[in-house]
Structure 1
């Protein structure tokens, strides 16, 4: 199997998955429409809303459901993790339960550097 065949199969897989997701979303939307319509019909029968209000209610619910579905899932990742800077305050913390010593800060900095190095190593492997 050549590289071209592999790329072609990957493209077909992507198109197939997108098609399947679209079909599932359409099915769920149809089910939602039926359920919302039943709820609106019951509320009309009980006199809790008019027919016009029920129609608007169904339309609003379906529009909200469609808006909540993301148009395109984001699969991009940042090139590197976001950097976190540890700042040391000039003034000491007044609360005794949240005081952090200089040794603690240095230990945290050392640990962050170790974790960054481990992340780079794992990323390269």
Structure 2
């Protein structure tokens, strides 16, 4: 049976491994973000919407914002857990179930009845 020191050592190594993995993932995401921002800046330069100096500053500013955003989220005060999160329900132009025609409902009801009868017949044939 491993001793307490072995368990603590394994927990420490697990923590270091997880931190290393998270760092690698974050670095990969930042590199991917940088390439996407650089592509966007290059496209804007090609269209004549900005010059190369503005594009360089744009990429640097976007990368600074991306690196600072997680830190600002961590310091933001959290809402109390007892208060539910508010959501807004937007209505579409598409008809809802309540607005479905009665013909469609009757057709579906008939299909269900036919399937139930077929299931009973198959169970009897076993």
What interval of TM-score do these two structures reach, taking the shorter chain for normalisation? Answer: 0.5 to 0.7
Equivalent pairs, count: 74
Q: Which residue of 2 aligns with 1:65?
A: 66
Q: Which residue of 2 aligns with 1:28?
A: 29
Question: Any residues of structure 2 matched to 1:1-125 within 5 Å, and which?
Answer: 1-70=2-71
Distance 2:53 2:15 in 1: 42
> CA RMSD, aligned part only?
2.0
Structure showing greater radius of gyration is 2
Deviations 1:87-120 (A, max 9, x none): xxxxxxxxxxxxxxxxxxxxxxxxxxxxxxxxxx
Normalised TM-score (structure 1)? 0.56
Task: Give unpaired runs (5+ residues) of structure 2.
Answer: 76-126
Q: CA deviation at 1:70?
A: 3.0
Deviations 1:50-78 (A, max 9, x none): 1000000000000000001239x79xxxx
